[in-house]
A = this chain, B = another copy of it.
Amino acid sequence: MSEVRVHNFTVSLDGYATGEGQSLESPFGHAGGRLMEWFFGTRTFREMHGEGGGTGVDERFACDWNADVGAEIMGRHKFGPQRGPWTDEQWQGWWGDNPPFHTPVFVLTHHPRPSIEMKGGTTFHFVDASPARALAMATEAADGRDVRIGGGPTTVRQFLAADLVDRMHIAVAPLFLGRGVRLWDGLEGLEQRFAIEPVTSPSGVTHLSFTRR
């Protein structure tokens, strides 16, 4: 059975998965790169840039993100900083011409636009759809492989609320962002649907594994 997965998704100790004030220069707003610092040290991240990196606990979690994934679903604010109707369609995401996904990616938006085929196998599709419908499309595109819910928090939260996630890796970073978008709002009783296993890392991050009961 193919699974619906969340990986390397990071929240601050006070629950924010992104800061306030996203812009072209700062995809995470006032949070900057701080949330993902644990990830930047891992081999998984550094190999994307042709370098070596850590192979410890953080890497054990980081490296799992892409294995057997056949499609991703992301929210429009993960794709870019634009709001409202597209004023031009030049923007192709934060990742350059060869994005790290290498699969179909379904971007949830109330403002659909034509699909974009990138180098390396990534195609962005823009869909105005409920979580369940978007998942049906992604599942078909994944062709037997798993579907990753890529974020941001608004998107992950929707899929959790609709009970569509099978397993999830959340990293809790020892930071207090104070403002931004929270992941956990409105998820009372989530522990009844998931076994939750915390593991700490020398980086100061606590990795939480959620496995559907």
Contact = CB atoms under 8 A, between A and B. Distances in A.
A208 to B, nearest CB: 8
Interface stretch (A62-70, A89-97, A188-196): A188-196
A32 interface: no
Q: A-side binding surface: helix, strand, loop or mixed?
A: loop
A18 to B, nearest CB: 14
A166 interface: no
Interface residues of A, number: 26
Interface in A60-88: none
Given A198-B204, A200-B198, A206-B206, A14 B184 contact: yes
A175 B200 contact: no
A212 interface: no
**CB-based closest 8 A-B pairs:** A178-B188, A14-B184, A176-B190, A174-B196, A198-B200, A198-B206, A176-B187, A175-B191
